[in-house]
């Protein structure tokens, strides 16, 4: 502090408030003093002194817009996909709907913000508590928060009503964890509970020096200097905004960070805006339509400049004619005609497509995905949740899945399963992974039956009579057993709740592993039942003699906390008899480095047991202890207090001090905890693999455990060729022992490079053989760090893409995101990431689609995800059913929109050739405006919601169907080209068949049809035809299809009856006055209405027949196989969850079981059994050759298909 004091004297009070390059802030709890450099001074309970600094207020805003930015920003958002500017009515409707939706969503955010900002809190003003809104809270205020209340800002905990200055908080809003956390005030401030006492801060020479606002939820660095004594502050004294107070009457604290500077608000990042691959391709299609529009307008404009001529005397193109038709200036004529034609042909751009797709996706998400009973988890009462509707169809094209292991593939329900104490293994169970490994090796394991008196409890699945009920006293080394149990009971940060009895106590732990270990200690007879900040109470049984129970109090002197760098946790405690002991538990690699020389043979034996447990898929921890002398401890504790008081690099200094005492440890043994696989994971992975999806596992576990989990999940099997790139080799260990970091980095990089080259060559050899094995790659985090180097990244990607399965172990959250981005950007494949913890958030946000598991590691993964499910196995339904259906439906909606708009616009284009390219309209303005909005709008939405090629059960029975989505079979440019061809053909039919009627008299009075008669007849044929074409497009037809199509056609007739029957002098309505009545009085109208749609659809009819016969899609073959069978989705497959439902939900469920209308497959159903595909073997049917089989094979594209003959 001496250096700071020298600088402090040269700084003025206000000069110190410059925060341009600050690293920490100073909170003043007393009279004014000059500042240290880079610190901000906050005067507690002194608002006037804080005014010059202008700290941010406590009001927060999460809205997307404000009054001034709504229109410009909202319109920008709507035009961000390639929205064109075209006819006023459809465009206005589209923008209005979109802006109303945006405004409504933002209004809900605003209401939420208001309710939060206006919540009340007690603040110390003039030596008494006054209730003010949160938004008026300022930095430096002293606040009182009551039980179950939320903290309005980031607060320094000064005092609480609980003894020993302790309070309990729940952090569910931060990380989803409902287990309570303990916070402890500094002893110096315990008595600042009353307004009078808290007001003394002004009089005391006290200040708080702390870090600047940042987004790190779990770190805090600061010092409280009170009466010239420096006391270190840690996260244990900080109460974060968003957390709530539990089991404490009230607390008093000083506000440190407010509003958007609080840690929770600095973590409130926007989820990256994701657009589906199909939408980006749609943008290209819209650009292509713009190109077509420009080309059509250019042709018309040039032709009008050429056509215009005074020789056409009947056009009256005299000297006084307007510029657009003045032959003297042909360039101007062409230019003005260009603008006219742009308006005329603008219907080619499907403006309402985006709104229709958005509506379809929204209903798909809220009504189909969120309410799917097959994705409802009854045990936790958790349904699936689509958090965004932008990516529904992306679910149908996923090729790579990146999955976390713990809590995603496994249950994250830890159970104490086995242990090794003093070189002896205890525990008799067999894990699921051991069973799977035995099956692969062809070994039959005998079923191990639990003993009749085995204890069954959550977190404890251990069975071995040698340790239970005091039997450990008879073991060869009972003292080591005693140390083992005490280490479990003392070395932790668990909080007990409830009655102080083994049956009724519940443990609140930071992780399921911690809870399992403390539960194990309880069942071994060392019952931890109470804790204070400085003591732990353990009820020990059978220690001195069998049957004797005694309560022992252990004084906790220091806690060296677990973090991802240390990978261990230590506690220094004092026994009642004065014995000083350091207990340590942590990862084997870390503990073994710190063992003393006395362990000898025990190290080797325990190492073997660790490998044995790891190969069984168990999570292992090593336990060790060290006896301390009083002098050694006192000398070390001084250094520890100094490190805790350090304002800079505190974590680093604490780690260095911990290294001093965490050495010369005595090994006790190790624990083995089982994290069981989730139900249905192996079959789900096998199904997804058959669907052409490649699954990668990215985990922080060690390699042996990860490989065994991969075996248990069917990701890896013995038939696969495994490529293993590991840093745990003799050569690398030898280099690491020398300690030269530069040399280590160079050696590992060269080693990884050599492995990648070697394996890439091997992979190419295997891939060129006809029946080569499938490939699997296993790589650890250290090697992955070098493999992701820009020079090696390409080799890693090529090798990975050739492998069926990839397992990355010991990887950091950042590496998870890097691997995901590597495939997403490098291979341009559609990726999905799935995880359940905060460490999976970056991976979830990096992928095209992020899926969160709502599990036991909090809700951060879910909050960052696009879709949330309760179990990994639900991916089958999410991808193979909803994803595939959504992709198929959206493809049909997009291509159909393209078809109907192009068809409609081309009829106008052909008419331009007969009008001297003058820009004369073929259709009335209102026809053109309402074509997309009313007359063809509803049927396509019905298709987008209800079209279904095969049933849900068949989608899962034949997962190979999903490959069509991966190949993007239904939205290729070839498919768009086919639709364009038939649009071209149909527009010619509409125009020429109908205009032929204008060449001779058609009604009884001998009058010929005029322009508006012909155009109205043509428009009627267009509306009828495009709606009928939609029915030909459907795979399944329900009553809603019939209602929407018939309703659209009737809507046109009702509109034209009213529109042509009313005459007003203010518009061009006189053009079509009485037109429909004249048309319907002629036989020709009915003949055209019958024949024109038939002639227009004849080409589509023939094409669909030929395509289905000779070049069928996979789903069409399935339709043929099951066309005589009822819908395959048997009702017995529905989950039996009625007992878990409310009466209203149960009624809805019962209604869903009632008989309903079956979907009817449309299209051609031929009798030919000659479909050769991967489905043939499923049937095992042989049929004699028929003539058309030969014809079909002769007409097929070059390239043979393999498979059995049906």
Q: Which residues are catalytic?
A: 404
Three-state secondary-structure class, residue 2: helix
d(CA 258, CA 58): 5
Maximum C-alpha span of the chain: 126
First to last CA, the chain: 88
Task: Report whether 500 contacts 511 (CB < 8 A).
Answer: no
Burial (Cβ within 10 Å: 0-12, 13-18, ≥19) of residue 150: middle
Residue 125 β-bridge partners? 128
Task: Report whether 855 contacts 836 (CB < 8 A).
Answer: yes
Residue 622 β-bridge partners? 586, 670
Tell me which DSSP letter residue 83 carries: P
Tell me the HSE value of 470 on the side-chain side, using a 13 A CA sphere: 10
Closest listed residue to residue 280, CA positions, set 82, 77, 83, 78 = 82
How many other C-beta atoms lie within 10 A of the C-beta of residue 475? 16
154: its two tokens: 């980031």
Phi and psi (nearest 5°) for 620? -115, 150
1060: its two tokens: 């042509």
How many other C-beta atoms lie within 10 A of the C-beta of residue 976? 18
Strand-by-strand arrangement of the 535-541 sheet: 424-426, 410-421, 666-677, 619-628, 580-586, 568-574, 549-560, 535-541, 526-531
Tokens 């559609």 map to which residue? Answer: 830
d(CA 30, CA 205): 5
Phi and psi (nearest 5°) for 947? -65, 140
d(CA 1081, CA 1062): 18
d(CA 705, CA 723): 17
Residue 154 β-bridge partners? 257
Closest listed residue to residue 245, CA positions, set 164, 161, 125, 137 = 161
CA 1186 to chain centre: 52
Three-state secondary-structure class, residue 8: helix
Give the dihedral sign, CA 358/361/362/363: positive
What is the DSSP track for 207-259?
EEEEEPP-S-TT---EEEEETTEEEEE-GGGEE-TT-EEES-SEEEEEEEE-G
Task: Report whether 551 contacts 545 (CB < 8 A).
Answer: no
Closest listed residue to residue 152, CA positions, set 166, 132, 172, 177 = 132
809: its two tokens: 């172990």
Residue 157 β-bridge partners? 253
Three-state secondary-structure class, residue 1023: helix
What is the DSSP track for 864-932?
T-SEEESSGGGHIIIIIIIIHHHHHHHHHHHHHHHHHHHHHHHHHHHHHHTTTT----SS-HHHHHHII
d(CA 627, CA 633): 10
Phi and psi (nearest 5°) for 927? -60, -50
Query: Strands 120-125, 506-508: parallel, antiparallel or unpaired by DSSP?
Result: unpaired
């Amino acid at each position: 502090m001496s250096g700071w004091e020298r600088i402090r004297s040269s700084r003025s009070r206000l000069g110190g408030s410059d925060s341009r390059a600050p690293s920490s802030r100073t909170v003043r709890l007393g009279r004014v003093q000059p500042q240290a450099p880079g610190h901000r001074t906050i005067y507690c309970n002194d608002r006037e002194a804080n005014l010059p600094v202008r700290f941010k207020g406590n009001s927060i805003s999460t809205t997307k817009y404000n009054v001034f930015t709504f229109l410009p920003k909202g319109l920008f958002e709507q035009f961000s996909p390639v929205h064109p500017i075209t006819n006023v009515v459809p465009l206005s409707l589209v923008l209005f709907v979109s802006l109303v939706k945006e405004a409504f969503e933002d209004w809900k955010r605003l209401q939420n913000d208001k309710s939060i900002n206006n919540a009340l809190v007690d603040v110390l003003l003039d030596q008494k508590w006054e209730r003010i809104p949160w938004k008026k809270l300022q930095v430096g205020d002293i606040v009182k928060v009551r039980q179950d209340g939320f903290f309005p800002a980031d607060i320094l905990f000064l005092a609480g009503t609980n003894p020993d200055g302790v309070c309990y908080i729940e952090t569910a809003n931060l990380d989803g964890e409902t287990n309570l956390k303990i916070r402890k005030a500094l002893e110096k401030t315990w008595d600042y509970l009353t307004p009078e006492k808290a007001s003394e801060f002004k009089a005391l020479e006290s200040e708080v020096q702390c870090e600047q606002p940042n987004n790190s939820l779990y770190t805090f660095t600061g010092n409280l200097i009170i009466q010239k004594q420096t006391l270190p502050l840690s996260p244990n004294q900080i109460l974060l905004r968003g957390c709530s107070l539990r089991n404490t009457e009230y607390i008093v604290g000083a506000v440190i960070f407010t509003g958007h500077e609080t840690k929770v608000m600095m973590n409130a990042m926007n989820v990256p805006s994701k657009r589906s691959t199909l939408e980006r391709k749609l943008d290209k299609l819209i650009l292509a339509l713009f190109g077509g529009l420009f080309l059509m307008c250019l042709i018309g404009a040039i032709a009008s400049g050429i056509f215009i001529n005074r020789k056409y005397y009947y056009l009256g193109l005299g000297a006084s004619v307007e510029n657009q038709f003045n032959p003297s200036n042909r360039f101007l004529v062409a230019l003005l005609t260009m603008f006219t034609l742009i308006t005329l042909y603008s219907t080619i751009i499907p403006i309402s497509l985006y709104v229709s797709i958005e509506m379809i996706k929204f209903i798909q998400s809220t009504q189909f995905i969120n309410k799917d009973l097959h994705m409802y988890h009854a045990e936790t009462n958790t349904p699936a949740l689509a958090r965004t509707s932008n990516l529904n169809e992306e679910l149908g094209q996923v090729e790579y899945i990146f999955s976390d292991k713990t809590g995603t593939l496994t249950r994250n329900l830890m159970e104490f399963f086995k242990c090794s104490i003093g070189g002896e293994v205890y525990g008799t169970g067999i894990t699921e992974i051991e069973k799977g490994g035995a099956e692969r090796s062809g070994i039959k394991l005998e079923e191990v039956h639990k003993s009749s008196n085995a204890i069954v409890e959550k977190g404890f699945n251990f069975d071995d009579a040698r340790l239970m009920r005091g039997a450990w006293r008879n073991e060869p080394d009972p003292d080591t057993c005693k140390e083992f149990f005490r280490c479990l009971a003392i070395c932790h940060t668990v909080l007990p709740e409830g009655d102080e009895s083994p049956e009724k106590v519940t443990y609140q732990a930071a992780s399921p592993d911690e809870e399992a270990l403390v539960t194990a200690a309880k069942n071994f007879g060392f019952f931890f039942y109470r804790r204070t900040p400085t003591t732990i109470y353990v009820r020990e049984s059978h220690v001195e003699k069998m049957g004797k129970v005694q309560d022992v109090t252990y004084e906790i002197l220091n806690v060296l906390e677990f973090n991802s760098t240390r990978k261990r946790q230590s506690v220094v405690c004092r026994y009642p008899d004065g014995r000083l002991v350091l207990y340590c538990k942590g990862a084997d690699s870390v503990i073994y480095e710190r063992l003393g020389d006395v362990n000898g043979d025990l190290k080797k034996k325990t190492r073997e047991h660790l490998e044995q447990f790891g190969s069984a898929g168990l999570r292992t921890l090593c336990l060790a202890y060290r006896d301390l002398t009083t002098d050694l401890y006192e000398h070390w504790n001084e250094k520890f207090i100094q490190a805790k008081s350090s304002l800079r690099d505190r974590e680093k200094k604490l780690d260095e001090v911990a290294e001093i005492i965490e050495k010369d440890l005595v090994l006790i043994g190790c624990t083995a905890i089982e994290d069981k696989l989730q139900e249905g994971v192996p079959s789900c992975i096998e199904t997804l693999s058959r669907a052409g999806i490649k699954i990668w596992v990215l985990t922080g576990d060690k390699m042996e455990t990860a490989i065994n989990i991969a075996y248990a999940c069917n990701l890896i099997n013995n038939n696969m060729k495994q490529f293993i790139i590991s840093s745990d080799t003799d050569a690398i260990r030898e280099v690491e022992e020398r300690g030269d970091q530069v040399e280590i980095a160079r050696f590992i990089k060269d080693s990884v490079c050599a492995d990648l080259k070697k394996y890439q060559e091997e992979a190419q050899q295997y891939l060129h053989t006809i029946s080569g094995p499938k490939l699997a790659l296993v790589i650890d985090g250290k090697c992955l760090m070098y493999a992701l180097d820009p020079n090696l990244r390409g080799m890693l990607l090529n090798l990975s893409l050739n492998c069926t399965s990839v397992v990355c172990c010991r990887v950091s959250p950042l590496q998870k995101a890097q691997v995901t981005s590597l495939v997403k950007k490098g291979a341009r494949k559609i990726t999905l990431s799935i995880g359940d913890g905060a460490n999976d958030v970056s991976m979830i946000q990096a992928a095209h689609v992020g899926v969160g598991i709502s599990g036991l590691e909090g809700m951060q993964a879910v909050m960052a995800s696009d879709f949330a499910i309760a179990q990994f196995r639900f991916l089958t339904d999410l991808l193979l059913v909803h994803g595939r259906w959504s992709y198929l439906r959206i493809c049909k909606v997009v291509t159909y929109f393209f078809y109907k708009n192009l068809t409609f616009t081309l009829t106008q284009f052909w008419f331009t050739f007969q009008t001297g390219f003058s820009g004369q309209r073929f259709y009335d303005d209102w026809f053109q405006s309402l074509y997309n909005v009313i007359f063809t709008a509803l049927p396509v939405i019905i298709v987008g919601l209800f079209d279904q090629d095969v049933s849900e059960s068949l989608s899962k029975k034949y997962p190979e169907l999903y490959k069509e989505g991966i190949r993007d079979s239904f939205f290729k440019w070839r498919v768009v080209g086919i639709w364009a061809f038939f649009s071209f053909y149909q527009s010619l039919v509409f125009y020429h068949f109908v205009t032929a009627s204008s060449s001779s008299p058609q009604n009884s009075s001998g009058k010929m049809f005029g322009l508006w008669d012909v155009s109205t007849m043509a428009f009627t044929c267009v509306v009828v035809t495009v709606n009928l074409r939609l029915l030909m497009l459907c795979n399944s037809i329900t009553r809603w299809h019939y209602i929407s199509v018939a309703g659209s056609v009737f809507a046109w007739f009702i509109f034209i009856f009213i529109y042509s029957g009313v005459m007003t002098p203010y518009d061009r309505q006189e053009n079509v006055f009485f037109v429909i009545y004249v048309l319907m009085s002629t036989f020709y109208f009915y003949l055209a209405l019958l024949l024109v749609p038939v002639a227009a659809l004849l080409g589509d009819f023939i094409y669909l027949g030929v395509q289905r016969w000779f070049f069928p899609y996979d789903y069409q073959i399935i339709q043929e196989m099951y066309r005589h069978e009822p819908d395959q989705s048997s009702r017995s497959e529905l989950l039996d969850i009625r007992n878990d439902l409310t009466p209203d939900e149960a009624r809805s469920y019962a209604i869903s079981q009632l008989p309903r209308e079956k979907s009817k497959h449309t299209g051609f159903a031929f009798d030919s059994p000659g479909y050769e595909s991967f489905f043939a073997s499923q049937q095992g049917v042989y049929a004699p050759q028929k003539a058309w089989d030969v014809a079909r094979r002769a007409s097929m594209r070059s390239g043979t298909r393999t498979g059995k003959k049906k």
